[in-house]
Structures are given as C-alpha cells and as structure tokens.
Amino acid sequence: MRKTKLPSGNEIPVFGLGTWRMGEQQNRFKQEVNAIRAAVDLGITLIDTAEMYGEGGAETVIGEAIRGCRDNLFLVSKFYPHNAARDDVVDACEHSLRRLDCDYLDLYLYHWPGSIALSETFDALHELLDSGKIRGFGVSNFDLDDLKDIPVADQPLLGCNQVFYNLAHREVEWAVADWCQQTGVPLMAYSPLDQASSMLQAPALKAVAARHDATAAQIALAWLLHQPNTVVIPKSVDPRRIEENLTALNIGLSTEDLVELDEAFPAPDIPVSLGLR
C-alpha cells in the first residue's frame, strides 16, 4: 500500500475505506462488519468514519470489525461542529473511542466549520494529542478562508483536509488544493466516485477505461490518486467492489489519458466555493 507523509512525520495510506451510511440499520450490521473485515484482509488499513455516521453506529460497526487487529490500522474519525467547544471535543473523542473499542485515533477531524472559536477547538485537540488519545488532527470541508482562520501555528500541523472531490467536482482545485500543497497538508477525497451521478457514464471516462481494460470507477480513482498528496476513501459494503476499487492503485495514467479526462471534466476557471456533500 502506497503511503504519503503527514506533517507530523507519520504516514497515511493513500487508499482507504469510507463508512458513510454504515451503522444506520441493524439488519445490515453483519454485512457491514464483514465488508470492513474483507477490506482489511485485502490490505486496506485506512478506515474513515465520524460520530455523525449513523449517530455513532458506523463507529460501533468498525469496533466489531477490527477487534484484534487495531494496531495495524489507521483510524480516522470526525466530530460535529456543535461539539467543537473544548470540553465537548474531549468528550466526543472519548465517546468515539468507546464505540470503536480502541485507545486512540490516528487522525481526528473537525467535520465542518462551526461557530466555536477555532483557537478553543485546537486547544482541545492539543489536549487530546498530549494525552495520547489522538496521534494527529485535521479538518474536513474547510474552504480557503476557513483554513486561514485556523491558528497559524496549527495550519502546518493539519493531518488532512477531507473534502468532496472527484472528476466531476473539482471545486477544491480553485484555491484549497494549492494552499494544502504549499502547506504540506494532504487532501482526503470523499465520495471519489460521485455516487448517484452520471460521471461514470461519461464517454471520455469509458474510453480511457477501455484502453486500460479497467472500469470507469477504477479510472476515476486512479485519476485522484494521480493528484499530488491526495488520499481516496471510496465506500462500499461489497467485498468484490472493494477489491475492484483497490486495483486502481495499479493503474498508471498516460499524458493522453490525463488530457482527455481534463477536457471532459475541466477544473473551475472562476472562483467557486468548496463542494460539500
């Protein structure tokens, strides 16, 4: 598994498993647990979740799935903006750890910007870091102005900015990606396949896929993996689809491929706000 360097000096796998919508229905619990175990068996060690997903249900699913193998994993979770006050961040983290049945998180992310002073939130994150409950912190869905509002000393310490990013939605490239690249902060792309959209039916994507004897989804993931310092976290509960997605790591896109995809899915040429899903 390829990895990219975090500002902390630690490394994060460039490919992981998303868990949005897991933990919402009890009758899917076993299927979701098995999907996560299958992903781990395939060599996926990065698992992303949030206290919002199933109101803690996804974390409970993960806790069951990773019992006995936590030390080999890179776990990411996120806290609500309404839990961004100092004591609330600490409490939210402890609740997540109990649901995950583990002692620490590799990355703990502020899920999206809220109204609490960022200085207070980051003081809490440092408290969690000092106590060993987290090994790094970061943000999610932070646009350029939000990133600049983070305490200056903490900006280069961010483990990632997790954003809505895929071929059809390149809003992050207008300004956020450059800031992250200059600061050394990885991007973590959620919804990399733009679920429920027509992206995967695009003729250009299908043409590139045909040249590589690959699926459109594999090419869409390979394109993201080609972007600098970018991590992808596609979600699936189908072990066959997880394995298929993982194969994107082995696809090398040519200059011709990249030009064709760029023409079909152009980056924004005017200022745009960061996409949010």
| Rg from Cα positions in the chain | 18
- Known catalytic membership, residue 110: no
Task: Say which of 53, 110, 165, 190 is annotated catalytic.
Answer: 53
3 state DSSP class of 139 = strand
Tokens of 144: 């350029």
> What is the rounded CA–CA span in Å between residue 211 and residue 194?
22
Is the Cβ–Cβ distance between 52 and 82 less than 8 Å?
Answer: no
3 state DSSP class of 189 = strand
CA atoms within 13 A on the CB side of 77: 33
Query: In terms of Cα–Cα distance, which of 228, 245, 220 is closest to 17?
Result: 245
Tokens of 226: 């080609």
What are the phi and psi torsion angles at 225 (to 5°)?
-65, -20
Amino acid at 228: P
State the residue for tokens 């992310």: 109
State the residue for tokens 């996409």: 275
Any idea which residues carry the catalytic annotation? 53
